[in-house]
Structure 1
Amino acid sequence: MTETASDLTWHPIPPSSATCKVHLIQAGGIHIPYDLVMLPGCDQPQDPSESKPSDGKRKTFHAPNYAFLIEHTATGTQYMFDLGIRRDLENLPPLIRDNVLSIFKCEPKSPGEVLRAHGSPEQQPEKIKAVIFSHMHFDHVGDGAKGGFENAELWIGPTTCTYARPGYPVDPKAPTLSDMLPVDGSRKIVESYIPDEVLREAADERAGQVAQGMIEGKYAAVGLKKPEWIRLGAFERAYDVFGDGSAYLVDAPGHSAGHQMMLVRTTSGPTEQDSSFVLFGGDCFHHVDILKEPKRTARPPYAKAGMHINPEQAVDTMMRTREFARKAYVWVIGAHDATVGEGIVPGAREIEGLVEMNAWQQKGWKKACQAQAHM
């Protein structure tokens, strides 16, 4: 059931002294049409000419593509959250190559190459235990965790395989590649699972999708993880990734099948307010103005098209995310939020190397971003 913003209850983040070290990597950029993202006002219809301007030049904005290197401090184990866009765009599925790239101009950059150039010996692609995908869109999965990441496990959100399998070329019209989630057992693939009874109680359309996917053979060589889901902040479902309160994966539906976010504790204190966190927002929002006012999200009937598979569920997820953004001790970073780079390195179109994020509060980076966004 969707709650209004005023109805949202804040469920305290469990206390913990455990933290993770976080580095931001800018994995290139992408040009996104405004009309696919924003309405002129809350639930205010778009001018139809925006998507088909008379001069043929669709108005776009340049957005970064962020990935994150995460070190579980207690063990030193390294993880990646998202991998940006693959360099060899010609090897994308034909559906994406022929229909999407003409709309979204891409500037790919490999996180693996950034790690090789700037990372320590322990931060190399071969040392990554798992790649955690926010979802399986082409601008987040890179080359499918190859290019040095072949040893890494692949961790995906609820119902991902119902979208990402069987992939191209098995399905000629698929938006993903078959070898991204191989069925031969050559990669360890872990998809988190929400019981159908929980989804049915919430009137969530995802109920029954995994069971149907199993019947269709979409779950070969996939381990279904059944975590202990808890309420966290404004969200109904999240789980403790490492078992010590240092990081949580958050069920964040609406944008695409399996969409998930990650809340990471960057410093610890005696209370929630004395700790600090970064929330990797994935594609929850594509422009900071939407996080400020989720009902400006482009979606039918106010716009011809939009960015989300379930627009109203996506708006609900944005409202819940906004509650985190309103906390001084949480920095919400969307994968395409241009204000983040401006806040860290003013005037820079692209951030180079690895940027350690744990001291973000002391450095005033969130406040600088808010100044950019007039929040």
Structure 2
Amino acid sequence: MSVPASHLLPTTDGLEAITLKLPSYSFLIQHSSGRALLFDLGLRKDYWKHTGIPTRAPPGWQIDVDKNVSDILEENSVPLVDIEAVIWSHHHADHVGDVTMFPPSTKVIVGPKFKEHYVSPSLERTPDLNLLAENMKGGRELVEVSFDDAEKGLKVGPSRAYDYFGDGSFYLLDSPGHTYTHMAALARVTTSPEDASRNSFILMAGDTCHFPGQLRPTVNRSIPKECPTVQSLCPGVLLQRLLERSESGPLFGVDEKNVVDFIQAQKSVQRLQSFDSMDNVWVIVAHEQALLDNIEFFPANLNDWKEKGYSDKVRWGFLKALEK
């Protein structure tokens, strides 16, 4: 997707001439037992058929989808029947994809009280209710995660968590604010029984924030003074803002027009910043443009991200997206 920056970020001088490229990532999680999950499905190829989506993109938007995630899996010899579940970080069109391409045995996993917030019988018939009816055809199971009951209040770092496989390899993280039931996910991709500090993780942030400039910089993750992108690309007014905030807080705050709960959204971003300050956790925002030119995509895997230096390559790449 290509979207005017002002549609996603708080009103700020300097954004008027900037358009953001917004890829929409889907992650295949393969457990050592052979069980497989998908975290988010991106946009469906026929996205205009998604209930509640206008037949035309909003003014200034451009949307291009060549394939469904299901197409990509099949082209790479991953049987769809092997996918145990699709996890929706939340119910928006650029994350739910087209679950109907998967067999009914593939469950859909959603955040806590999803039905209460979006498909309660007491609500009028809404696009969200229609979305659920369409995707649950054939007896597909909808599973709501409950963080209240997850192992008597399990927490990973600052976040309430659900240990999906029960072995500490993959957690769903409570991350509300953008929507009421929004979730992120944390996967352990390397492990060292001798030295836990050598474990490495990937955190799939979904839409906890839409743009890495809402996450960085922070006190614990300040922008390097030698970063070449800053002086060469940033429009002057944004550059000044960045320099003023380089050691105190992110370049942009949470945008009130894109959240259902502003306070919860702020808290979720703050928790994400705690993970982002750790050198063995790579935080990936769902629409992060900088990944496109800096990492290998499926069928390559990301388990060796630390060895390849992927996080260092992309961490400040959002600055380039602010070029006029």
TM-score range, shorter chain: 0.7 to 0.9
Q: What is the CA-CA distance between 1:312 and the residue it aligns to?
A: 2.5
Distance in 2 between residues matched to 1:365 and 1:164, nearest whole Å: 37
CA deviation vs aligned residue, 1:112-153 (integer Å, no higher than 9, x gap): 1111112x4xx221210111111111110012x111343201
CA contact (8 A) 1:254 1:310 kept: yes
Distance 1:230 1:115, change over 3 A: same
Map residues 321-340 of structure 1 onto 2, 5 A cutoff: 321-340=272-291
Partner of 1:34: 5
Gaps of 5+ in 1: 1-29, 40-44, 196-225, 301-305, 346-350
Partner of 1:321, secondary structure, is helix
Q: 2:310 is matched by which residue type in structure 1? A: W
Partner of 1:335, secondary structure, is coil
Count of paired positions: 283
Partner of 1:151, secondary structure, is coil
Q: What is the CA-CA distance between 1:180 and the residue it aligns to?
A: 4.1
Partner of 1:131: 86
Distance in 2 between residues matched to 1:107 and 1:69, nearest whole Å: 22
Q: What is the CA-CA distance between 1:67 and the residue it aligns to?
A: 0.4
Partner of 2:313: 368
Structure number with the bigger relative contact order (C-alpha 8 A, sep ≥ 6) is 1
CA contact (8 A) 1:193 1:227 kept: yes
Q: What is the CA-CA distance between 1:59 and the residue it aligns to?
A: 4.2
Distance in 1 between residues matched to 2:80 and 2:147, nearest whole Å: 30
Within the candidate set 110, 116, 119, 2:74 is matched to 116
**Do residues 188 (structure 1) and 144 (structure 2) align?**
no
Partner of 2:245: none
Distance in 1 between residues matched to 2:56 and 2:125, nearest whole Å: 16
Distance in 2 between residues matched to 1:82 and 1:149, nearest whole Å: 16
CA contact (8 A) 1:291 1:318 kept: yes
Q: What is the CA-CA distance between 1:357 and the residue it aligns to?
A: 0.6
Within the candidate set 97, 120, 142, 1:142 is matched to 97
Partner of 1:249: 172
Q: What is the CA-CA distance between 1:173 and the residue it aligns to?
A: 5.3
Partner of 2:190: 267
Partner of 1:248, secondary structure, is strand
Distance in 2 between residues matched to 1:107 and 1:133, nearest whole Å: 21
* Greater strand fraction, Structure 1 or Structure 2: 1
Distance in 2 between residues matched to 1:178 and 1:374, nearest whole Å: 37
Runs of 4+ in structure 1 off by over 6 angstroms are none
Distance 1:319 1:295, change over 3 A: farther
Partner of 1:238, secondary structure, is strand
Q: Identity over aligned residues, as a percent?
A: 29
Q: TM-score, normalised by structure 1?
A: 0.68
Partner of 2:178, secondary structure, is coil
